[in-house]
Amino acid sequence: MNKKYKQIGQGIFLLILIVGSLIILNRSRKEAAIYQSDQGTVFGTFYSATYQYPQDLKAEIEAELNKVNMSLSPFEESSIISKINRNEDVKPDSLFLHVFNLAKEVSAKTYGAFDITVAPLVNAWGFGFKKKMNVDRSVVDSIRKFVDYRKVRYENGKIVKDDPRTMLDCSAIAKGFGSDVVARFFDRKGIKNYMIEIGGEIVVKGVNSKKENWRIGVNKPVDDSLAVNTELETILDVSNIGMATSGNYRNFYYKNGKKFAHTIDPRIGYPVQHSLLSSTVIAPNCATADAYATSFMVLGVDSAMEICKKTPGLEGYFIYQGKNGTLETCFTDGMKKYIKEK
């Protein structure tokens, strides 16, 4: 009799153990399926991060972004780039050097359309971190004498300038790089599914909470200085890429009836004036996509398409103004697989 009760007791214990294990396993699966969503401000714009992880990581995300800010933001007086611009004796950190080297590489491949030394021109035209100037040909010509990515280099552990008036500006690459930095943090945490976006520059990996690729809209490039327009030109179905969009339809001003957009051609010193309105680039990482998207706004459609075709991993989607004033699009062959119906 005792043996029988003992067996019953063992059976009950085993049943409790199994049920408990199933409860714990089910709870673990639910926790693993949770998608967190964080938002905030950085680099003078907004960021958002959606990621599959059982805990909220907002504090850690913002700590990573602050590292980028303290390295690359010209609006932060104690940042490395600000000290370099003031010609102080400072040793660049690994974040700065990564962006600096990538910027030089993209500059060479885009015939100087991307230029990390464009800051004085951007400031003069009123789109930078200094007070706007009254710009005329003599002012532009005087500034252009010390704007050239070939006049600055990394040497013996320091950034060396040929002219002390040269100033650096990473605005056209920093947001994309910030997204990459958060993505690398997520990778270190073992996170497989995420989307990070900083001011429109995006990194996506894996799938969303519906177990589908991430769907990213490309806005119609209509004048929208308040950033309230949400009309989409197309939707891209993407995963495991970096993506950036650059356009002249949000950051601009009018003077004497003429529109001045924020994209400055560093080779001539003036805001660009051509038919390309929006440039969306997909690349292996977001910093690269960010830099090329800006470069293409300087170069125009034809040169942009040419560079994409000869650069592995680079895809482009371009919206431009046709001869009759309508919006037209063109894109690389490799972009076709990402384009979905709205």
Per residue in 12-55, pLDDT tens?
Answer: 655 555 555 445 444 444 445 799 999 999 988 999 999 999 99
Q: Is 184's pLDDT higher than 90? A: yes
With 70 as the cut, is the pLDDT of residue 260 above it?
Answer: no
Q: Is residue 262 assigned to a domain?
A: yes
Output the DSSP codes for 87-113.
T------HHHHHHHHHHHHHHHHTTTS
CATH of the domain at 214: 3.10.520.10
Q: Where are the beta strands (DSSP E) in the chain?
A: 35-42, 45-52, 152-155, 158-161, 194-198, 201-205, 214-219, 232-238, 241-247, 252-255, 258-261, 264-265, 270-271, 276-283, 315-321, 327-331, 339-340
Secondary structure class of 284 (helix, strand, coil) = coil
Q: In the numeric block, which tokens belong to residue 302?
A: 């034809």
Residue 94 is assigned to a structural domain of this protein:
no
The verdict on residue 256 lying in a domain is yes
Decide if 311 is inside a domain.
Answer: yes
What pLDDT sits at residue 252?
40
Domain with 248 in it: 209-340
Is residue 214 in some structural domain? yes
Query: In this structure, what are the phi and psi dihedrals at residue 259, rounded to the nearest 5 degrees?
Result: -85, 130
Instruction: For 136-177, write each residue's pLDDT tens digit.
Output: 788 888 898 999 999 999 999 999 999 999 999 998 999 999
Number of domains in the chain: 1
- To the nearest 10 degrees (0 to 180), the angle between helices 94-109 and 171-188 is 130
Q: Can you read off the two tokens belonging to residue 16?
A: 């409790």
Question: What digits encode the pLDDT tens for the residues 318-338?
Answer: 999 888 878 899 999 999 999
pLDDT score recorded for residue 274: 77
| pLDDT tens digits, 202-256 | 999 999 999 999 999 998 887 554 455 568 889 999 999 999 999 865 544 334 4
